[in-house]
Amino acid sequence: MSENSMQRRNFLQLLAGVFALVLIKPINAFAAIWNKTAFEAIKLNEVSNYLNVEVEIVSQDIIIMAPEQAENGAIVQIEVTSNIANTETMAILVENNPTPLIAHFTFSNGAQSYIVTRIKMAETSDIKVLVKVGDQYFSNTKNVIVLENGCG
Amino acid sequence: MVVANMTDFNADNMKMRAQLKVDGMTEVKVLISHPMETGRKKDDFDQLIPAHFVQLLTATLNGKTVLEAQWGTGISKNPYLTFRLKGAEVGDIVSVTWHDNLGKTATQHIAVTQA
């Protein structure tokens, strides 16, 4: 190998390194806030562990509005309300998705424990909503039949 | 008005509305243009499309944080979100900022209007 091509290789490696740094830096800046382990967990109970949930109390005061049947799993609109006083956080999970944790919301300064959003469902599954109130956790589930999967 | 200096997406990539309802609640609706790629989908050449999704979304009312959201890849393409605020008044400013896993970000501000 000529010295010239060695230099070029070194230069390219350096360039790749700089690019990697530029890409990684903003991600690191928020890594502390985004709960990577919980979002990448592939089992429902692992997600609970990573969210530090020990005991979950089933509560009908968590209301999950979602279609009984979803034609297209790529877009399933859900409306979630927690009528439990002093609800601090709300997590939305889909048990049979490749990664069950979909979203985690923290409410403050007058925000109501109410969310409408659209989620992906890989197949027919329970949707679980997990709510934090002080050091207690409450949950409720709703099953949605998915006719066409949407986890592309 | 403060605008995030890292903004890669212009305001057209976000649509927002904040309406004060008769019950005193302000309903904020947000629609974001974003591919929300899971990293598990393949393109026409059988190559995996890299994950590209919004990870964090923060909403403020007159600069005070009201909602902090962490999202995974399971939020649908072009994310849609509705939330409700108590105590907001007409003319108050609601701001929403999102950040994705590739470091892209955008911010949008909107004034509360009477429904």
Confidence at residue A33, expressed as pLDDT on a 0 to 100 scale: 85
Tokens read off for B103: 């470091």
How close does chain B come to A55, measured CA to CA in Å?
22
Residues of chain A under the 70 pLDDT cut: 1-9, 11-32, 150-152
Interacting residues of A96 by C-beta distance below 8 A, sequence separation 6+: A121, A122, A123, A124, A125, A126
Give the model confidence (pLDDT) of B30-56 as tens digits.
Answer: 999 999 999 999 999 999 999 999 999
Alpha carbon distance B28, B33 (integer Å): 17
Query: Of A24, A51, A27, which is closest to residue A37 (Cα–Cα)?
Result: A51
The CA-atom distances, in angstroms, between A58 and each of A66, A128, A142 are 18, 10, 12
Please tell me the pTM assigned to this model: 0.84
Q: Please check the confidence at residue B93 and state whether its pLDDT lies above 80.
A: yes
Check: CB of residue A84 under 8 Å from CB of residue A138. Answer: yes
Q: Where are the domains of chain B?
A: 2-38+51-114
B2-38+51-114 falls under which CATH superfamily? Immunoglobulins (2.60.40.10)
Question: Among partner residues B65, B67, B76, which is closest to A119 by beta-carbon distance?
Answer: B76
CATH topology assigned to domain A37-146: Immunoglobulin-like (2.60.40)
Confidence at residue A148, expressed as pLDDT on a 0 to 100 scale: 80
Alpha carbon distance B31, B6 (integer Å): 20
Query: Of A81, A52, A53, which is closest to residue A66 (Cα–Cα)?
Result: A81
Confidence at residue B45, expressed as pLDDT on a 0 to 100 scale: 93
Residue of B64, B71, B96 to mutate when probing chain A, most A C-beta within 10 A: B71
Confidence at residue B4, expressed as pLDDT on a 0 to 100 scale: 43
Q: Where are the domains of chain A?
A: 1-33, 37-146
Give the model confidence (pLDDT) of A28-64 as tens digits.
Answer: 444 458 999 999 999 999 999 999 999 999 999 999 9
Confidence at residue A59, expressed as pLDDT on a 0 to 100 scale: 98
The CA-atom distances, in angstroms, between A39 and each of A87, B21, B77 are 21, 35, 17
